[in-house]
Amino acid sequence: MRTRFDEQLAELNNKIIEMGAYIENSINRTIKALENHDVALAQGVIDETYMVVDMEKEIESLCLKLLLNQHPVAKDLRQISTALKIITDMERIGDQAGDICELCIFLAEQTYIKKLEHIPQMAAATIKMVSESIDAFVKKDAELARAVIDYDDVVDGLYKVIKKDLIELVHEDAANGEQAFDLMQIAKFFERIGDHAVNIAEWVIFSVTGRHKDTQVL
């Protein structure tokens, strides 16, 4: 009985890894679409957001079956409960990649008011956070999860730099205002992706320790 349960937990981990790899790829494609004014690539990300939803539903179904059929306790219960929590954040990351791509399409025919420097850096930082938060879940590594939480300061710092630069450009020329707002929205979406990675990391810590944000839960 336990062998079958362990096989199902391994399947759960594999599905989480697959979903994580997919959203990481979505973020990668999103920033490439922005940098290269690539409408087709951006549209492809938008068109495929349903796949993240499908993955979420599949993992949710597996978790519910495990809860109903196996009646897990202690660390097994925490692992399955954590999976149910983190797939919501993962699905939202996929949504936000799609939201950024909608703005990419809108901006595709425009010359950027400044060289894209810090936004790609934000994208790379969020990919690192997403990848490592999911890795922490699979490895049950609370220290790696805490490192992800700390790394969010990098994303927040880049967001502040982008905001400052764009405000200065608007002050220099009010005609920059509309595009500056759109670029600020893109930066905000990346900042939210970082926040979702933090959420994942916090639930990973819960899965290992039973504590969520310094509150003992299980």
Task: Give the start-to-end residue ranges of the domains of the chain.
Answer: 2-216
What CA–CA distance (Å, rounded) separates 171 from 143? Answer: 43
Q: Residue 62: which region, alpha, beta or left (left: phi > 0; alpha: psi -120 to 50)?
A: alpha
Give me the pLDDT at residue 196, please: 98
SS3 215: strand
What would the two tokens of residue 84 be? 């149910």
With the C-alpha atoms ordered 5, 7, 8, 10, is the resulting torsion angle positive or negative? positive
What CA–CA distance (Å, rounded) separates 75 from 202? Answer: 15
Three-state SS annotation for 58-82: HHHHHHHHHHHHHCCCHHHHHHHHH
Burial of 185 (0-12, 13-18, 19+ CB in 10 A): middle
Q: Which of 39-43, 48-52, 67-71, 139-143 has the lowest mean pLDDT?
A: 67-71
**Domain 2-216 part of CATH 3.20.10.10:** no
- Is the entire prediction scored with pTM above 0.85? yes
**pLDDT (tens digit per residue) in 157-181:** 999 999 999 999 999 999 999 999 9
Concatenated DSSP letters of 79-132? HHHHHHHHHHHHHHHHHHHHHHHHHHHHHTTSPPSS---HHHHHHHHHHHHHHH
Residue pair 167/187 in contact (Cβ under 8 Å)? The answer is: no
Q: Residue 200's pLDDT band (boundaries 50, 70, 90)?
A: very high
Q: How many CB atoms lie within 10 A of CB 108?
A: 15
Give me the pLDDT at residue 216, please: 58
Closest CA to 127 of 26, 13, 16: 26
Give me the pLDDT at residue 211, please: 84
